[in-house]
Amino acid sequence: MDVVLASASPRRAELLTGLGVRFESVAADVDESPLPGEAAAAMVERLGRAKADKVAAERPTALVIAADTTVVEGGAMLAKPLDADDNRAFLRRLSGRTHEVFTGHALAWGSRRRSFTVRTEVTFRSLTDGEIERYVATGEGLDKAGGYAIQGRGAGLVAGICGCYANVVGMSVAAVIDAARAWGIDLV
């Protein structure tokens, strides 16, 4: 069976590669703007479905896997920072606090559809201004929800997590494996 990752994210590709899954990556260009009043969990699941549906329309016989991630702190969504100043502001906001990471997942196979959201709590250490400046200078957080990469240098910002680590990276592989297994598809 062909497996298609509806994403250009190198992190999501690394997660699937780590499982030994053979797949093709196809970017799904969808409008990622939140709808008025839309909760984070609902938004990422909607976006995951939109990405899966878009790619599945072109690849109807493949198992299509899609995901979308956002970070929420104090009720505010922190998507990808616009620039270094935005990244700095995100890290100051997250410093010494616990935030939520929501990843909406969607699978499509033929006429079948399945979507769900996984939530993970992440607690940051209290960061010094110097730590924030040095991290922002790396540029690592600029294309990541919340402005950090837990699988990279951003690991040093994190005091602990409660939930799925891979979800924070960008896709809960355990949840995807279970969802595919419900259709009789073994990814591992």
Asked whether residue 140 is domain-assigned, the answer is yes
Condensed to tens digits (0 to 9), the pLDDT of residues 83-134 reads 999 999 999 999 999 999 999 999 999 999 999 999 999 999 999 999 999 9
Q: Which CATH number is 23's domain given?
A: 3.90.950.10
Asked whether residue 131 is domain-assigned, the answer is yes
Query: Quick check: is 143 catalytic?
Result: no
* Cα–Cα distance for residue pair 127/174, rounded to 1 Å: 31
**pLDDT at residue 8, rounded to an integer:** 92
**pLDDT at residue 1, rounded to an integer:** 87
CA atoms within 13 A on the CB side of 149: 16
Asked whether residue 46 is domain-assigned, the answer is yes
* Cα–Cα distance for residue pair 68/71, rounded to 1 Å: 11
**pLDDT at residue 50, rounded to an integer:** 98
Task: Name residues of the chain where pLDDT drops below 70.
Answer: none
Cβ neighbours of 149 (radius 10 Å): 22
**pLDDT at residue 18, rounded to an integer:** 95
Asked whether residue 187 is domain-assigned, the answer is no
Asked whether residue 124 is domain-assigned, the answer is yes
Domain containing 83 equals 3-181
Q: Please pick, among 2, 29, 68, 186, the residue that the annotation labels catalytic.
A: 68
